[in-house]
Structure 1
């Protein structure tokens, strides 16, 4: 008797189209929610049919899609990794058969359907690692039918994604991560300058599920070669290339590229690779005398430098490679000798630093290393391009986790491509972009540390060589500074602020908890569950997330928002009062949302208080919420000080009196904003003038003391 299909809380959330926090609330608040039927105490499992019945009775069950049906069929059949790999050739076959024929096959009796599936996919099995020995049985007809329906209705590419769920995933232990499509596209674009033919033969020796090879195919590559140590991952890559890379010849092999190089004799036109990070068991002991170490045997703790040399040996003379590298490879002392030899040989052409959050692992600033296999008769290059897109000039602002927002990805991509293409046209006469890009002489890099970190060299870039241009820039900055200072003086003057009398004014107060109970306020929080594993790269017109740093810094919403909205997302409205959950250096600020904030989403670690406008003035509320003595009385903790908004107290005043105070608090807010602008302009003006003096482009003013 077949066992009932079980689902986890995460699968229930996906089934219902809600967050995991919502499922957790259902379990606590609804006694009739299905009881666990398996799993563990920390990760219970539930009967799928019982969950579907419960969701349907409450109108929470969306219409079933072919992808959902396929997921259910996979759970029912309890398919393992090997079985899913055997299903991949059938997906490839379905992508190349007319939809009408596939629909007719779905209606066949079980034994005929299994025979049709086996016959149709046999010719593609040899191209998918681990898919040999196809043997579809009649008892699997339900799974095969669900797979074919998904191919017809959702497309073969989406069907492959469903098959990869839960089996092909990123892992901290392996150091292997999926490269996000925008980053993969940038790496592929770096292989050819505008107007030049795209490399034909591309290799990825650590191909994962084939994202980099697919990006290369979209730009014109026609021969694709990939290898991955995990057979299930290599099988996914082979199937994805067969389905999505039309007009290409693709070959993907399962195996360890370092120890068992499947393409040892291949001389590729270009190589794209995101090597596994920090994987120390790369073969240091077994490969000590390997001929690939053209710059020397890498230390055991420098696996990325081993992958780098592996990629270079597979390039034909003049061929280029783009590698996604961790920042430590640029400065760790153990790799200094190999970096120096690489510079002397002319193999390194550029290092481009990406902002944290561009690709997993999200907390570090990864780098793109652009390499070239030197031609024996070519002149060795004298400079290396350093590009820092992680600096303030090109990337978005920090989010609440301290990562750089990726909402300005077009600017990041444009800075990287623009600098590389300009450098390619004029490598010996490249004009630096202050704070972003600079061509550094190789001799300057060959110091004691051989540090290739772009930030170290870009920040040292000289000022523009044209003194007239710098003088004009300095004049414009000083004019803007004078204008900002004039506005600041005007806001700080005006009417006097009279004393309240001989004694300070006192009033009756109510806690925020009392105001919540009286419906004068509504307290909202963002959902605690993060619904995606990485940032969403979006354009400037998309809704964004207001972060705690945005509130503290009094700047517009900067965080990336999810592509799919949840019913628990909190959309900000004009007049909302937003208070950070944690104090910053013992103080905080309350933000009154305006028209620019409306429509954006509330980020984590923020409290949103939505006042009834007939009873509470938002500026009055914000001013008293952020009072230092009020925050001190309502906060707890030592190292991390958190505010309990329900304990904050607000004076009980008439609406007219509140508006009078609110007008004053709004004036103080304008004063702070003007001071911020003046401070930034003063800093930028001083840095520009100082750089002009030290760089020899400007002279001290006449009569300077």
Structure 2
């Protein structure tokens, strides 16, 4: 058996290759005696030969339009070493861009070199950049616990902040520095966000050779598209700066956290420490000063830091100097889940070199902008994640007030004089100062009480109407299932899926995308996809069902067309036989969801075809539909009253704790 034949694949990987669900592969294995035999793994998690699986899929017409990329990845993964597979993907990218390249990295094995050549051929057939992006994404997903990457929305936000804060014209182009670039997430975001007259020069550095090579591959493709000049160096930036003396207009950085061996002893007399030698336990402040040392006058830097850097006693003296010189212009507290580690509320520090010199004294009336954006988390999801749209809008709106003293920062942000920060602690944690700025005024409280009273009045009206309903004691009526209605042609059923392209990378998207995560948050779609890449689109009047226990729900869609993500379903009724609101009301019954679910956990799926619907003539459906509408309105009012009442209780607590009660 050759090395290629020995590449193992799981049932899940076979399903991905064939473009089907894992259950379909298990079914093939049971029904077809010719299905390849297991070569490893266990009975529960068997593994098969990739070569044998590929041949079987071809012989049985199961590959369809699936391209060669899916067949490539298991071979890269079989290389075993994270570094070798990463370098092989980077070499494939180089060969895709320069097909006549003759030299190959000496550190690659013969198997890795052959695989890079094979991947380059697939890339030339199916699109070089798409193939590279696919392999890079799979590599990052496989080694996610060993790597720290910057999510694309955060990288884009950092790039926008830096351009907004920087002083000076951009007619002659800009220079961007990323001294800890990883696989190039920040530089790539900047390349895509900036449309700079005169072009963009990128100076990037990474000490891990595999990451640096992958960054070179990624930025190389973007350079060809945007006419950008990237330079990627492999070095330990703090100890051996490959761009010493270079000056940048903008710097973006997501440095490694909590590293003790960052060069404290050998760098004790380094000229970059203009604000003081960083303590051994404060490597993040070394990165901050490294960025400042590379900024042109008026240049801006945005760096991701752990929250403890804002308040640790060891860094107090350097924080004080950063504030006094005007280098630290703003601090933004991000919601948990913005980047790794996802359980921590990370911060963005926004730095700017003085227009006339890298370090100069701040003006006596200098202010610092502190922004608490932690409230823009998306509740209800398993993993913490921000509401990137609202978060980005809030932060950029806050940044617009940084130098405009006539404009007040929005609620949740505060502009503080230096004297309010230069105390014994020099704590620049935004939440410490913004909390006191959010207490509602007497007028605001009065308005909220009025809104709450209106909600209670409407709620009482609906309660009176619904409580007057009477139910007969006759035997319950017969019911049918969604599956039977589909067979009878009374409705059609389509399942939502992950779009062919992610909502973050699609340009010119024209239809909103709703996911289960959006539904658990507030029901507002936050993605967009092209209509052609959305397998299920809900039109006005269609019934939408969430087929997962923790978010089980059914409703009639109103408004413009909307694409559906995984575990969401669209049902389109025949209006001559079914009324949409009647159908949605029947489906939404809690007992219906429990009866059709697996009961395994809150994440279990609901079998949509097993959901039951009353068998009634169309004229009787109309009466039920009207009542279902009132019930949904009652439910919405209950939710709104709950949110409004809890908000009032919180606001009243803040006002009472602040004193001033008159009796």
The verdict on a shared fold, with TM-score over 0.5 as the criterion, is: yes
Asked if the contact 1:27/1:33 (under 8 Å) is kept, the reply is: yes
Q: What does residue 111 of structure 1 align with?
A: none
Mapping for residues 103-502 of structure 1, pairs under 5 Å: 117-118=101-102, 131=105, 144=117, 147-148=120-121, 150-151=123-124, 154-155=127-128, 157-161=129-133, 164=136, 167=139, 171=143, 174=146, 176-177=148-149, 179-193=150-164, 196-198=168-170, 200-217=174-191, 219=194, 220=196, 222-245=200-223, 247-283=227-263, 292-295=272-275, 298=278, 302-331=282-311, 335-336=315-316, 338-374=318-354, 375=357, 376-380=359-363, 382-391=366-375, 397-401=378-382, 403-404=384-385, 406=387, 409=389, 411-424=390-403, 426=404, 428-435=405-412, 437-446=413-422, 450-461=426-437, 484=455, 486-494=457-465, 497=468
Q: Distance in 1 between matches of 2:347 and 2:157?
A: 12
Kindly tell me: are residues 56 and 226 of structure 1, through their superposed partners in 2, closer, same or farther at Cα, counting changes over 3 Å? Answer: same
Secondary structure of the residue aligned to 2:163 is coil
Kindly tell me: are residues 661 and 236 of structure 1, through their superposed partners in 2, closer, same or farther at Cα, counting changes over 3 Å? Answer: closer
381-390 vs 85-94, greater mean Cα deviation: 85-94
Q: Distance in 2 between matches of 1:12 and 1:195?
A: 53
Asked if the contact 1:202/1:270 (under 8 Å) is kept, the reply is: yes
Q: What does residue 625 of structure 1 align with?
A: 590
Secondary structure of the residue aligned to 1:422 is coil
Q: Distance in 1 between matches of 2:26 and 2:316?
A: 51
Secondary structure of the residue aligned to 1:412 is helix
Q: Distance in 2 between matches of 1:526 and 1:440?
A: 52
How much has 1:390 moved relative to structure 2? 4.2
Q: How many residue pairs end up in the alignment? A: 638
Q: What does residue 601 of structure 1 align with?
A: 564
Q: Distance in 1 between matches of 2:211 and 2:298?
A: 31
* Per-residue deviation, residues 75-125 of structure 1 (Å, max 9, x unmatched): 8999995587478578557646xxxxx6xxxxxxxxxxxxx541xxx5xx8
Q: What does residue 9 of structure 2 align with?
A: 8
Q: What does residue 556 of structure 1 align with?
A: 523
Kindly tell me: are residues 559 and 51 of structure 1, through their superposed partners in 2, closer, same or farther at Cα, counting changes over 3 Å? Answer: farther
Q: What does residue 112 of structure 1 align with?
A: none
Mapping for residues 662-681 of structure 1, pairs under 5 Å: 663-678=626-641, 680=643
Asked if the contact 2:518/2:524 (under 8 Å) is kept, the reply is: no
Kindly tell me: are residues 556 and 549 of structure 1, through their superposed partners in 2, closer, same or farther at Cα, counting changes over 3 Å? Answer: closer
How much has 1:401 moved relative to structure 2? 1.7
Q: CA RMSD in A?
A: 5.7
* Per-residue deviation, residues 297-324 of structure 1 (Å, max 9, x unmatched): 5566554333223323333454321112
228-237 vs 248-257, greater mean Cα deviation: 248-257
Q: Distance in 2 between matches of 1:161 and 1:682?
A: 48
Kindly tell me: are residues 682 and 231 of structure 1, through their superposed partners in 2, closer, same or farther at Cα, counting changes over 3 Å? Answer: same
Kindly tell me: are residues 525 and 30 of structure 1, through their superposed partners in 2, closer, same or farther at Cα, counting changes over 3 Å? Answer: farther
Asked if the contact 2:4/2:75 (under 8 Å) is kept, the reply is: no
Pair 1:544 & 2:513 matched = yes
How much has 1:273 moved relative to structure 2? 0.8
Kindly tell me: are residues 591 and 40 of structure 1, through their superposed partners in 2, closer, same or farther at Cα, counting changes over 3 Å? Answer: closer
Give the TM-score normalised by the residue count of structure 1.
0.69
How much has 1:244 moved relative to structure 2? 2.4
How much has 1:150 moved relative to structure 2? 2.2
Give the TM-score normalised by the residue count of structure 2.
0.73
Kindly tell me: are residues 235 and 450 of structure 1, through their superposed partners in 2, closer, same or farther at Cα, counting changes over 3 Å? Answer: same
Q: With a CA cutoff of 8 Å and minimum separation of 6, indicate the structure with the bigger relative contact order.
A: 1
Secondary structure of the residue aligned to 1:460 is helix
How much has 1:208 moved relative to structure 2? 1.2
* Per-residue deviation, residues 499-538 of structure 1 (Å, max 9, x unmatched): 76xxx9474599x9x968977999x9999x9999998588
How much has 1:688 moved relative to structure 2? 8.7
Pair 1:63 & 2:47 matched = no
Kindly tell me: are residues 34 and 684 of structure 1, through their superposed partners in 2, closer, same or farther at Cα, counting changes over 3 Å? Answer: same
Q: Structure 2: any 5+ residue segments left out of the alignment?
A: none
Q: Structure 1: any 5+ residue segments left out of the alignment?
A: 97-101, 103-115, 126-130, 583-587
Asked if the contact 1:386/1:439 (under 8 Å) is kept, the reply is: yes
Q: Distance in 1 between matches of 2:611 and 2:189?
A: 56
Kindly tell me: are residues 483 and 66 of structure 1, through their superposed partners in 2, closer, same or farther at Cα, counting changes over 3 Å? Answer: same
Asked if the contact 1:69/1:146 (under 8 Å) is kept, the reply is: no
How much has 1:595 moved relative to structure 2? 3.7
438-447 vs 608-617, greater mean Cα deviation: 608-617
Q: Distance in 2 between matches of 1:205 and 1:577?
A: 48
Kindly tell me: are residues 533 and 353 of structure 1, through their superposed partners in 2, closer, same or farther at Cα, counting changes over 3 Å? Answer: farther
Q: Distance in 1 between matches of 2:69 and 2:174?
A: 35
Q: What does residue 110 of structure 1 align with?
A: none
How much has 1:229 moved relative to structure 2? 1.8
